[in-house]
Amino acid sequence: MRRGVVSLLLSIAVLGLGACAPGATRGAASPADNGSAAAPADTMAAADQPCASPDTPVVAVIQFDNTTAQYGTTVTGVEDAATARLITLMKESGCYTVVERSVLQDLIAQQGLESLDPIELAKAAGAGYVVTGVVTRATIAKPQVGLFGVSVGAATARVEVDVRATDIITGEVVVSMTGGGDASNPKLALNRTPVGRISYDDPTVGPLLADASTHAVDQVVAAIRAEF
């Protein structure tokens, strides 16, 4: 009799464990459930973000200035590359109508002047926003030399771009920021740090400057796209 009761109790316990086990399995979080399998939406690249405005703002981008000489070396052409990169990214986003440079040049020629106030120029072109900028820094640092003349680290470039975006109707500066970009190349052999005057298209350091400039402008465009 006692043996029969014990057997009955053991059978009930086994059935209870079997009923619980499937429930625990169904409730367990899979990698997809806890987010480890896919990045959240807010980590998308700026180029993948939706447009900030339901409209399509008309934007005039004025040729950037170049004040890189303040760091001892003038990098010619970096302002052209930064301006072109910003225009390309804004056009490719599909969020803006960008006034062509030829239109701005024609307006300047019609006035018989070398330049016009950026806001007045953009207004004459029918733009609602104007973007102006200055490439303030474009520097190259060679690797440090350690013991026994062995190079330590990598050749590095730093480019900084100050940019403003202004709402022409209200006069409000909606974006004002400095985008900074860095790039390095441990295989780049430099006998000395470039000084004086170098070209952005220099075959030795040009690619390094191009990478740094791209990173700097990408930051600025992300800030603009977040505002309008």
Structurally, what CATH architecture does the domain formed by 55-227 represent?
3-Layer(aba) Sandwich (3.40)
Closest CA to 169 of 132, 123, 124, 224: 123
Indicate the residue type of 135.
V
Single pTM value for the model:
0.74
User: 218 falls in which pLDDT band (50, 70, 90)?
Assistant: very high
Q: How far apart are CA 66 and CA 76, in angstroms?
A: 8
pLDDT higher than threshold 90 for residue 138 = yes
**C-alpha distances in angstroms, 102 versus 105, 108, 123, 174, 194?**
5, 10, 15, 26, 34
Between the CA of residue 28 and those of 16, 39, 64, 200, what are the distances in Å? 19, 20, 56, 56
Q: Say how far apart CA 154 and CA 190 lie, in whole Å.
A: 10
- Which of 217 and 16 is assigned the larger pLDDT? 217
pLDDT band at 46 (very low <50, low <70, confident <90, very high): low
Rounded to an integer, what distance in angstroms lies between the CA atom of residue 53 and that of residue 95?
8
C-alpha 149/C-alpha 132 separation (Å) is 45
In the chain, where the domains are located = 55-227
In this prediction, residue 112 carries a pLDDT of 72
Q: What is the mean pLDDT of residues 98-113?
A: 87
- Residue of 145, 32, 146, 48 lying closest to 93 (CA atoms): 48
pLDDT tens, position by position, 139-184: 998 876 554 444 456 889 999 999 999 999 999 999 999 999 999 9
Higher pLDDT, residue 53 or 193: 53
Mean pLDDT of 114-139: 92
Nearest to 173 by CA among 184, 182, 164: 164
